[in-house]
Amino acid sequence: MTQIDYYFSTISPFTYLAGNRLEEVAAKHGATVKYKPLDIMALFSRTGGTPPKDRHPSRQAYRLQEIRRQSARTGLDINMKPAFWPANSAPSAYAIIAAQSAGGDVGALAHAFTRACWLEDKNIAEEEVIRSLLSEHGFDPELVNSGLLTGAETFTQNLEDAIEAGAFGAPTYVVGEEVFWGQDRLDDLDLHLAGKL
């Protein structure tokens, strides 16, 4: 069975704008998804990128235009100036890592965290928010505590794995040696899994 390594950040607007399309593509081709949340700011610094706040004004302006256009294209509403961005993404990532080990619909949980950040003005670094999202998606809210050590170790390793795989932004989808960067490359991932690309 084909595995898609999914490198993403819970504070990435483009991860949010992917919606549940990755899960649809994976299901269509009988592929599995390995969810690998990471520290996007650390990924930028390790791979020659620049955090959004430090980019040239023209790049910042283009990023906002692209977010607006992708929101319209996908039909996913977005708050262009979320109250808690950039939040510390580590606590939400730890929860997703623990949830993946526990089993369940990790894709819906991951999307819920990005939606909480980019649409619902929730601080996804807060324990109450994390507990609530875990519970709403069928996971034990105690994963917020029980998964801390493993979550921290895996979160760090996910960054190293992403760099080794050739990822430099989020979301990135990796199948073997093939790297697909950005939610706007999901159609290419679909074609690749179909053997057409």
pLDDT over 70, % of the chain:
100
Q: Which of 156, 119, 110, 137 is nearest to 15 (CA)?
A: 110
DSSP H or E stretch at residue 34:
strand 32-37
Q: What pLDDT, on the 0 to 100 scale, is given for residue 10?
A: 98
pLDDT reported for residue 148 = 79
Global confidence as pTM: 0.95
* pLDDT tens, residue by residue, 130-150: 999 999 999 999 999 887 788
Task: Give the chain's domain count.
Answer: 1
CB 171 within 8 A of CB 185: no
Q: Answer whether residue 4 shows pLDDT above 90.
A: yes
Of 27, 60, 63, 40, the closest CA to residue 163 belongs to 40
Q: Which residues pair with 178 in a beta bridge?
A: 175
Residue 117 has φ and ψ, to the nearest 5°, of: -75, -50
Reply yes or no on whether the pLDDT at 1 is more than 90.
no
Range of the domain at 47: 3-193
CB 74 within 8 A of CB 14: no
Mean pLDDT of 115-135: 97
Tens-digit pLDDT profile for residues 54-103: 999 999 999 999 999 999 999 999 999 999 999 999 999 999 999 999 99
CATH number at residue 145: 3.40.30.10
